[in-house]
Structure 1
Amino acid sequence: MNWLLQMTVPVLAGFVLDLLLGDPAWLYHPVRLIGLLIEKGEKIIRKCLPKTRGGERLGGVVLVIFVVSISALVPLGILLAAYRFFVPLGLLIETFFCYQILAVKSLKVESDRVCRALKEEGLISGRKAVSMIVGRDTEELSEEGVTKAAVETVAENTSDGVIAPLFYMVIGGAVLGFAYKAVNTMDSMIGYKNDKYRYFGTAAARLDDAANFLPSRLAAVLMIASAFLLGMDGPGAFRIYCRDRKNHKSPNAAQTESVMAGALGVELAGNAWYFGKLYEKPTIGDPKRPIEIEDIRRSHRLLYGTSILALAVFMGIKCCLLWL
């Protein structure tokens, strides 16, 4: 029975804790430690390797191996020691780790701040709030642009921040979950095609694409199912997904964005500014109606519906396989 508890309880309990507690400000998040590891590792590696295209590509590979290894081996060592000493202690620690890896409530809370800022304080506050959760330039965004950015973030991070880490935790517990978070954090920090990271960030960006390839597609299918179950525009979600799921340079980003656009009946994506440079992007979805502030909260319904459905499906499959 211990092995069954060890394989299922931490993920289930961690998911519930995340829904209840989110990421309180007083609790130091392990992703910040991973971020510091990336930042310090980058500085050291850049000093040791030549400032050439090949040198930077090699440096990026070294950083990826270093960060993913440390991010997985540290929790592995802690959990092995805890489970060997006292199984309930191991379950408790791994539950806490799983809770820290997931981001359902924090994604809802952070995007809802954008909604409240726009409604209660106006556009300038909305721009400031959305700048905390997106990588694009926000200084010149209109109310529509701010709202789009928030909805797109909920859509993309339903996959990156919830479904993908949940997928990997169901397979390999908190250890594999932390390995995934390391990959995803590196991509968000150095996976850019600007002058600084065009070559150094290549390995991180490609590994993130590979790690999210299957989870993003599972997330899209689960989000379509959730749209039907929640009484949203399920047929529209399926239609736009089939048509627009490749309307992004990333092989994964438009998977859930297209479902979200179809379920809400709005148009997402399009051109955006990053680091002072305009990037031309195709749109996703049809503008059946203008996007409105309340669509941010409508996106939360799909976030929660998809997350809960994913937990049920993934854990159901795992329990069936464990009993075979």
Structure 2
Amino acid sequence: MTELVLLALAIPVLALLIDLLLGEPPTPLHPVVWMGKMIGYLDKRIKRTSQRADRLKGVFLALVPLCIFPLSFTLMLGVIHDLFGAVVWAVVSAVVVKTMFAINAMDRHVRPIMEALERDDLDAARRGASMIVSRDVSKLDKEHVISCAAESAAENTVDSVFSPLFYLGLGGMPLMVFYRVSNTLDAMVGYMSMEHINIGRFSAKLDDATNWVCARLCVPFILLAMALLRLDWRQGWAMAKKYKGATTSPNKGWSMSAFAGGLGVRFEKPGTYVLGDGPLPSDPAVIGRTVSVMKLSAFLFFLMVALPLFILLGVHVQLLLEEVLTWWL
């Protein structure tokens, strides 16, 4: 039992260290890229017909990667455990776990935008923003570029950090991979275009469901991080309550409006939503402060929720599923 507790402690901690020190694996080796390729392959080969048929096809489109990736990784780790022992299993588990969440990656994505704005290079900042958001950034002014970069970091606090770590704690690596597939499905087919309005319906609803808990659970950790960083956490809470329903998503408004309130600004996607009562951010440092809150809140959540939950529950679920899939060995 002591050995299992130590291994259960080592897996998330090692995964976090890999994220902070090494970052993301090369693109060809990244499991999320593999997920995207499979989803894209299936999406291109599904012929659109009627609304009802397309929605059923969308369920099939989602279920294929939702089954293949968690089962494949669980089987792989079960085989590694049996053949090479617990230490190698724990190391490989940590590597897989790392690829399912990203803390430092968002910093690396938004920092060049902040630095470009600090040297008054708006075109470079727009190019950087185009890499992280789907909206047209070609005509955005400085304030809206700052807003979209900070919004992206705030939104990804849930999608890329809190939710995957929560599901790691709840169901180990298999449930964490399931969540990441669900989130990737939503990113690729779950938006309201004519091409995907029916095909992507199931994926969009599934992503809403899987993020529902952490979209709300993240708020107290964001507020605690703001308090520790001497930001206005009370205003963060006030804006979260006021603007939580201001986006079309049932989840996105919570974290973004909390960030906007605590930073004393408003986030704005022209023609879509406004979050917060403050002015549009004019200081590029708002981006850096957003990342600081994201990182600290993620670390607090990791220590207070994800790590103990994984030790008490997640690792046992993972080992049970591995045992079920490798009964034949």
Q: TM-score, normalised by structure 2?
A: 0.90
Query: Percent same amino acid at aligned positions?
Result: 28
Partner of 1:83: 81
- The structure whose RCO (Cα within 8 Å, separation 6+) is larger is 2
2:286 corresponds, among 295, 303, 317, to: 295
State yes or no: 1:285 paired with 2:311. Answer: no
2:212 is paired with a residue whose SS is helix
**How much has 1:24 moved relative to structure 2?**
5.2
2:15 partner amino acid:
G
Q: In 2, Cα distance between the equivalents of 1:209 and 1:320?
A: 27
Q: Does 1:310 align with 2:311?
A: no
Cross-structure match for 2:68: 70
- Partner in structure 1 of residue 203 of structure 2: 204
Matched, 1:18 2:22: no
What residue in structure 1 maps to residue 58 of structure 2? 60
Whichever residue aligns with residue 70 of structure 1, its letter is I
Distance in 1 (CA, whole Å) between partners of 2:281 and 2:72 is 48
Could you tell me how far apart the structure 2 residues matched to 1:121 and 1:29 are? 34
Q: Aligned in 2, Cα 1:195/1:26: closer, same or farther, shift over 3 Å?
A: closer
1:261-285 deviations in Å (ceiling 9; x for gaps) = 01100011342xxxxxxxx323111
SS at match of 2:29: coil
Matched residue type, 1:65: L
- SS of the residue 2:133 aligns to: coil
Moved over 6 A (4+): none
C-alpha separation in 1, matches of 2:198 and 2:273: 25
Change (3 A) 1:164 1:315: closer
Displacement of 1:290 in angstroms is: 4.1
Written as runs of structure 1 = structure 2, the 5 A alignment for 1:174-193 is: 174-193=173-192
1:222 paired with 2:226, answer no
SS at 1:250 equivalent:
coil
1:140 aligned residue: 139
Q: Rate the CA distance shift 1:291–1:245 in 2: closer, same or farther, 3 A.
A: farther
- SS in structure 1 at match of 2:199: coil
Q: CA deviation at 1:83?
A: 1.2
Deviations 1:24-47 (A, max 9, x none): 557732110000010112223x14
Give the 5 Å matches for 1:19-34.
19-23=20-24, 25=26, 28-34=29-35
Please, which runs of 5 or more residues in structure 2 have no aligned partner?
A: 314-329
Q: Distance in 1 between matches of 2:58 and 2:258?
A: 33
> Are the equivalent residues in 2 in contact too, given 1:11–1:173 (CA < 8 A)?
no
- CA distance in 2: counterparts of 1:136 and 1:31, whole angstroms: 22
1:94 aligns with 2:85: no
Tell me, yes or no, if the aligned pair for 1:11 and 1:170 is still in contact at 8 Å: no
Gaps of 5+ in 1: 272-279
Q: Partners of 1:173 and 1:319 in 2: how far apart? A: 7
What is the root-mean-square deviation in Å for CA atoms of aligned residues?
A: 1.8
Deviation at 1:243, TM superposition (A): 1.1
What are the Cα deviations for residues 123-165 of structure 1, in whole angstroms up to 9, with x where unaligned? 1111111111111111111111111100000000011001110
SS in 2 for 1:19: helix
Paired residue for 2:3? 2
Instruction: Between 202-211 and 296-305, report the one with greater CA deviation.
Output: 296-305
CA contact (8 A) 2:111 2:288 kept: yes
Contact 1:111–1:150 (Cα < 8 Å) also in 2? yes
- Separation (CA, whole Å) in 2 of partners of 1:104 and 1:199: 32
Q: How many angstroms apart in 2 are the aligned matches of 1:43 and 1:27?
A: 21
Matches within 5 A, 1:43-58: 43-44=44-45, 46-47=46-47, 51-58=49-56
2:302 is matched by which residue type in structure 1?
Answer: L
Cα distance in 2 between the residues matched to 1:140 and 1:28: 35
Give me the whole-angstrom Cα distance separating, in 1, the residues matched to 2:281 and 2:175: 41
Q: C-alpha distance in 2, partners of 1:212/1:73?
A: 21
**Aligned AA (2:188):** M
Q: Which residue of 2 aligns with 1:276?
A: none
Structure 1 contact 186–204 (Cα < 8 Å) conserved: yes
Alignment of 1:231-310 (within 5 A): 231-271=230-270, 280-288=271-279, 290-310=281-301
* Secondary structure, aligned partner of 1:283: strand
Taking the aligned partners of 2:171 and 2:81, their CA distance within structure 1 comes to 15
Output the CA distance in 2 between the equivalents of 1:240 and 1:320.
35
